[in-house]
Amino acid sequence: MDKWKVINAIEQTGIIAIVRGTKQTEILQIANALYDGGVRVIEVTCNTPGYLDMIEALAAEMGKKMFIGAGTVLNPITAQLVIDAGAQFVLAPDLNPEVIRLMHEKCKLTIPGVATPTEIIQAHRLGVDVVKLFPAGALGVRYLKEIRGPLNGTAIIPVGGINMGNVAEFAQAGAFAVGVGGELIDKNAIAEGNYSVITDKAKNFIGTFLTVKGNQEYTLGLQGDMNI
């Protein structure tokens, strides 16, 4: 898998959907609801029970329409397991050179977690293309804006605490995209079997983010499959 295809899909849609703590029986309905809302990049976190089975199911059923990834990848063993299950990219809450090295060997995208300029620069030295600013909600929009002063060439994806109240601000501050979990994967709606809520939320997040970024081509239609 060409990692640049994943990066392109992230940039075009502006959203990585983060699935955490849901049931295996729900994953395909969640993915289809997200897809209908315009999401093309989805991750299942590795602290979700049954995450490998979920990744396998997504790769089998949605792999021609969405890019499937794994989140909360803390070590190279887990990275290898999720790749074997069908993951095309991984995210982590930390900067782990061993995970990065393995993903480079597999020619797959890795998005490590960073919180300081030092970590961002270290990630660049390790050959990382995109970083995850975590926890973005606690660090704040102003923090992102200020670190992009000297590091404005860095593709930064804020994750943690992203919601409809601040997504436009993060886009305005220069976020490459955002990762959205609980604010998008509405567990009450899932419990009620009302997956259209997730579709509507996905459209709102994508539309808001891309309108600020000026990507009207994708925003207007929320259409077209990525080159997967």
Handedness of CA 67, 161, 29, 20 (dihedral sign): positive
Separation of alpha carbons 115 and 20, rounded Å: 21
In DSSP notation, 102-160 reads: HHHHTT-EEE-EE-SHHHHHHHHHTT-SEEEETTHHHH-HHHHHHHTTTTTTSEEEEBS
Active site residue 213: no
List 43, 56, 108, 213, catalytic entry: 43
List 3, 108, 132, 213, catalytic entry: 132
Active site residue 106: no
Active site residues: 43, 132
